[in-house]
Amino acid sequence: MSSQREVRCRCGRWMWAPPGAGAIQCSTCHTVTQLHSLVDALRGAHRVIYGLQQLRRQYQQQQQPPQMMMAQRSPPQMMVAQRSPPQMMVQLPPPQMMMAQLSPPPPPRLLEALPSPFGKKRAVLCGVNYRGKSYSLKGCISDAKSMRCFLVQHMGFPVESILMLTEDEACPQKIPTKRNMRKAMRWLVEGNKARDSLFFHYSGHGAQQKDYDGDEIDGQDEALIPLDHETEGKIIDDEINEILVRPLVHGAKLHAVIDACNSGTVLDLPFVCRMERNGSYDWEYQGLGRIYKGTDGGGAFCFSACDDDEASGYTPVFTGKNAGAMTYSFINAVKTAGPAPTYGQLLNLMCSAILEAQSRLTYTDSDESSEPLLTSSEKFNIYATKFAL
């Protein structure tokens, strides 16, 4: 084991890399980590040290007094000390400054293309159609665009505080890759404070995979599927909870709408609202293990398209074109519920709309029907608590 190297994946899992390996794939999140040779690193360090020594030697030479240059033997009055004008001397910085200049600049904390993260209302909207793939979807990018219009026109979100990640974006940093989605989620909650209203929307594929840390009752982690998941892996619920949920401070609120399969507890929130068809409900605690899944005092709420073991879908019944059933029913419920609706009212309206749409589809299979699910960081009275973005 002494010849093996211990490597830590971006998801936090430690792995043993065999000697001579150029890359290793994480068994948890499937991220591929490139390994750099120790010999290459030592050679690079040697080159840097040699360069610093050369610069230091030049600097010391410049600090020595210039030699007096005299003309050929001449009368004393013709002898002139030749000295370079002070303004012509090349001044080199001290060695510590030269080292700082040679050091690479620190990486940017956020995507350069992102707007300022400081605002009372901001949102991240992800729509992934997986164009050109055998598992491509229809309508996910349209879902993200519809959600942006809704937030701007009806909920008062500034358009410059909404970050869109879709395959239609011209900026490479706004393509819904795993790296970009992670950074966008961090941007959303950075510096959050009391009375901030944060919103996260995802329309695309969802999935499940084996739980390796023992915090899932069903033994399965839920995950979002970025565009480059085949090489970079999924974004599992443990990481989503760590990025989006746990940093929320007292008074800040996060609402998420997840239009994907297997999305019930994809934010890993500890409480699930189990609602019956007659409107009665009960809170089910999802906590398992010693890892805290709540916030830092704030509130987190998630409307998901279906339970963890169910499939969601899109339907042309609502708009005449392919649209995510969850996205459309959420927007329509908030618009039609009247002023200051409760969470219970919205949930009932969404369930009714989706059940009605499913009944109108000729290919509807009752065994495959799914209903929206509400999860939360805390238990609360869904018929007394007002919904507000």
pLDDT at residue 222, rounded to an integer: 94
| Beta strand 281-285 pairing with 235-236 | unpaired
Instruction: Give CA–CA dist 259/147, Å, rounded.
Output: 12
Three-class secondary structure of residue 158 per DSSP: coil
Residue 44 pLDDT exceeds 90:
no
Lowest mean pLDDT among 39-43, 124-128, 176-180, 296-300: 39-43
Instruction: Give CA–CA dist 206/266, Å, rounded.
Output: 9
| Beta strand 32-34 pairing with 253-259 | unpaired
pLDDT at residue 267, rounded to an integer: 96
Q: Which two structure tokens, joined as six digits, stand for 188?
A: 């959303």
Instruction: Give CA–CA dist 227/130, Å, rounded.
Output: 6
Instruction: Give CA–CA dist 175/181, Å, rounded.
Output: 8
Residue 110 pLDDT exceeds 60:
no
pLDDT confidence tier of residue 86, bands split at 50, 70 and 90: very low
Mean pLDDT value across the chain: 81
* 8-state DSSP, 247: T
In degrees and rounded to multiples of 5, residue 220 shows phi and psi of: -130, 135
| Beta strand 121-127 pairing with 162-166 | parallel
pLDDT confidence tier of residue 48, bands split at 50, 70 and 90: confident
| Beta strand 121-127 pairing with 373-376 | unpaired
Domain boundaries, the chain: 1-43, 121-376
Give the containing element (helix H, strand E) for 254.
Answer: strand 253-259
Which residue reads 């793939």 in tokens? Answer: 133
pLDDT at residue 100, rounded to an integer: 45
Per the CB < 8 A criterion, the answer to whether 28 and 58 are in contact is no
The residue among 216, 266, 220, 207 whose CA lies nearest residue 241 is: 266
Please give the span between the terminal C-alpha atoms of the chain, in angstroms, as a whole number.
Answer: 54
Cα of 302 vs its chain's centroid, Å? 16
Q: Active-site positions?
A: 205, 261
Model confidence pLDDT, tens digit, residues 207-225: 999 988 888 888 899 999 9
Model confidence pLDDT, tens digit, residues 141-165: 999 999 999 999 999 999 999 999 9
Q: Which residue has the higher pLDDT, 8 or 134?
A: 134
Q: What is the pTM of this model?
A: 0.70
Per the CB < 8 A criterion, the answer to whether 254 and 198 are in contact is yes
Instruction: Give CA–CA dist 172/111, Å, rounded.
Output: 10
Model confidence pLDDT, tens digit, residues 325-343: 899 999 999 999 988 999 9
pLDDT at residue 368, rounded to an integer: 53
Instruction: Give CA–CA dist 17/1, Å, rounded.
Output: 10
Which residue reads 């973005």 in tokens? Answer: 389
Q: Could you tell me the fold of the domain covering 121-376?
A: Rossmann fold (3.40.50)
Residue 114 pLDDT exceeds 60:
yes
| Burial class (CB within 10 angstroms; exposed 0-12, middle 13-18, buried 19+) of 123 | buried
Lowest mean pLDDT among 22-36, 111-125, 181-195, 231-245: 22-36
Per the CB < 8 A criterion, the answer to whether 238 and 269 are in contact is no
